[in-house]
Amino acid sequence: MKEIVSCKGRHTDATKDVHLDRHEEGSSLPDILIVPDVARYLRISRSAAYELVHEPDFPAIIRGRKIRIRRESFLPWLVEQENTKAKANSLTGPGREH
């Protein structure tokens, strides 16, 4: 008999509780995300997630009050943000002024 387990706010059928690292967790995201999904994944508040989706470079589809984010656009955007930050840190280096 399967038990219902909660994983990051979502209920799933599973035979055991599985702990996922961040990269594996990305593959468990739905194809189409809503703002609360983004907030949970990034571990930020819903209001911060709403601000984020209105940033010009964020890959959100906004039609009226509906906001949707394709997983295939969100995950590469997130990697790009990480790479941009790493590149900026390598240019300034430790001990240098920003």
Task: Give pLDDT tens digits for 9-18.
Answer: 444 444 333 3
Instruction: Report which of 58, 51, 98, 97 is spatially closest to residue 77, judged by C-alpha positions.
Output: 58
Our count of domains for the chain comes to 1
pTM, two decimal places: 0.65
Q: Residue 37's pLDDT band (boundaries 50, 70, 90)?
A: very high
Helices (H), the chain: 22-27, 35-42, 46-53, 71-92
Those residues whose C-beta lies under 8 Å from the C-beta of residue 40, and which sit 6 or more positions away, are 8, 9
Structure tokens at 8: 């990051």
Q: Is residue 77 part of a domain?
A: yes
Residue 61 has pLDDT above 70, yes or no: yes
Residue 15, domain member (yes or no): no
Q: How many CB atoms lie within 10 A of CB 12?
A: 13
Measured CA to CA, the distance from residue 10 to residue 66 in angstroms comes to: 21
Tell me, yes or no, whether 59 lies in a domain.
Answer: yes
34: domain range? 21-92
Supply the CATH number for residue 57's domain: 1.10.10
Across the range 34-50, mean pLDDT stands at 97
Lowest mean per-residue pLDDT among 2-16, 25-39, 47-61? 2-16
**Strand, helix or coil at 44?**
coil
